[in-house]
A and B are shown apart, each in its own frame.
Chain A
């Protein structure tokens, strides 16, 4: 029995548990570089964080993505799932296959593709707008501080919507068809059925997917930002994860980087708890 458990546990402790504990412990240290001896400085890293303008900007950008991306992703996923399960379109399997596809693509491939979609000269977003007579609005989407976060948000939504759609489709399939049958006999429109049957019956699944989506944005934004903008223009798309990485591996501020890690982890846990509280049944 022990022989079964030990290989997994040893690796898990070595590569997951021990580093995770180190992050918490070392976040109280000043530690600059591998050769440097860590020095205990208490909460100073955490205090510094709130005087660090770049960190605060990164936190704000992350906050924007964490709110905007899950809302749109899950809404699109819900509507699509509901259309595909509630209407009897012959080719619904095809849509399902296509919409799910982006969620298994490499984030790197997605980031590179979307860099070219937004490309100011060869990108097809701008050239498409010209074709539609909207050429005046064409711009360098990733190079402008007003549009860069929205442009990244669209990429993140494109990546994830199909994934959550498949989860919701499974949920809707398990709702008793009698409910919809009864509602349509009573004359409820599809929209009313969506509001009064689909959403309440899926509520528990929706609550979980909100939390998964928030955490997904934190993780995926790292790759998307690193490749598409490198935090630019002028840090307007810097997110906490890219800032953490940069502090660690460009500036060798190991202690500070780990403090950021602890903060972001706590932040995501608190956000999940808030989301759980807000979406609790009974209040509505």
Chain B
């Protein structure tokens, strides 16, 4: 097969030589289209970074100019008066808690659903699948009432529990696929060696589905870090709010007391972890999309 393709490629490459200038022109036209789009993606972010170093007067003056000097005090104010640091800490707490809960729920569930045969298995798989279609805004009212009845509102632990449950459907769906692809011999060998269910799961299976778990963690990280609707509804006291809520409050305040600098500084602070994780795990993320099909 490869042989045939290689053979076919040789004459066609020769043909291309005669039309090469046309291809170069075409490539440059396409490149211009792509560069314009790339600018449309990058410029708003770049502008945001620039504006975070400007004074209010400079922001008002022109969106194209560079800041005259680096106004770090925007960042200082973002932490002192806008309390970005506190919101950030809440977000970090909620993300870690949610992630632990998600892993503790999703991995064993996917293990059982992917590798064992029992009555009701199909039903449970289908129930989790149905969860893919239940978005947060649809169920926000009964969820709010339920959590109010159980005194779970305004509590970072229960917010995390709701987050973990929110991505459970997708995670189970993703991991079950990985679990199914492991040959059963591995477990049999482990069982013979006297490993129980749990030690088999943790010592044999978990390392083998690591790519799946990483994909799940990466996707869930962005979901947890960025979540807005639930955090806005289920957390009421300012001291427990997560960063998306903190930012949107800051945005509301800016309309009356103009301090754009610290708002933009706040946005940059939120962007930093996202950018770092994206740069480090970009490959995993886009590969994961191909493994797990389409994210919900």
Contacts and interface: CB of A to CB of B under 8 A. Distances in A.
B278 A87 contact: no
B203 interface: no
B269 to A, nearest CB: 11
B105 interface: yes
B199 interface: no
A281 to B, nearest CB: 19
Given A8-B105, A16-B134, A215-B135, A248 B140 contact: yes
B134 A227 contact: no
B34 A95 contact: yes
Interface string A126-156: 0110010000000000000000000000000
Contact of B228 (A113, A223, A261): A223
Q: Considering the complex of A and B, which 5 residue pairs feature the smallest CB-CB distances, nearest first?
A: A4-B108, A124-B63, A22-B142, A106-B226, A19-B139
A190 B260 CA distance: 47
Given A106-B225, A113-B44, A226-B248, 4 more contacts: A8-B105, A109-B247, A124-B47, A218-B135
Contact of A15 (B47, B63, B165): B165
A89 B12 contact: no
Nearest to A17: B127
Given A83-B33, A219-B135, A208 B62 contact: no
A250 to B, nearest CB: 12
B109 A8 contact: yes
A258 B263 CA distance: 35
Interface residues of A, number: 86
B98 to A, nearest CB: 11
A83 B137 contact: no
A85 interface: no
A102 B38 CA distance: 11
Interface stretch (B72-80, B183-191, B207-215, B281-289): B281-289
B286 A89 contact: no
Nearest to A114: B44
Contacts, number: 224
Interface residues of B, number: 89
A34 B105 contact: no
A245 B63 contact: no
A104 B222 contact: yes
For chain A, what secondary structure do more than half of its interface residues adopt (helix, strand, loop), or is it mixed? helix
Contacts of B30: 83, 87, 89
B280 interface: no
A100 interface: yes
Contacts of B42: 98
Given A7-B104, A108-B226, A181-B12, A34 B148 contact: yes
Given A20-B139, A170-B290, A208-B294, A113 B282 contact: no
Nearest to A131: B64
A178 interface: yes
Interface string B75-105: 0000000000000000000000000010011
A4 B176 CA distance: 14
6 contacts: A5-B108, A34-B145, A105-B274, A167-B290, A185-B12, A254-B145
Contacts of B192: none
A115 interface: yes
A56 B274 CA distance: 38
Nearest to B291: A170
A115 B141 contact: no
A58 B59 CA distance: 35
A107 interface: yes
A26 B141 CA distance: 10
Given A99-B37, A227-B248, A209 B141 contact: no
Interface string B27-49: 10011011001101111110110
A101 interface: yes
A158 interface: yes
A28 interface: no
A11 interface: yes
A226 B271 CA distance: 21
Nearest to A25: B142
A166 interface: yes
A212 interface: yes
Given A1-B197, A254-B141, A121 B60 contact: yes
B265 interface: no
Given A19-B146, A112-B248, A115-B251, A127 B38 contact: no
A261 B138 contact: yes
A177 B260 CA distance: 52
Interface in A53-102: 80, 83-84, 87, 89, 94-102
Nearest to B145: A34
B106 A178 contact: no
Contacts of B9: 181
Contacts of A227: 248, 251
Contacts of B106: 8
B172 to A, nearest CB: 7
Given A106-B226, A108-B247, A158 B124 contact: no
Contacts of A209: 294
A30 interface: no
A8 B270 contact: no
Contact of A117 (B44, B161, B247, B274): B44
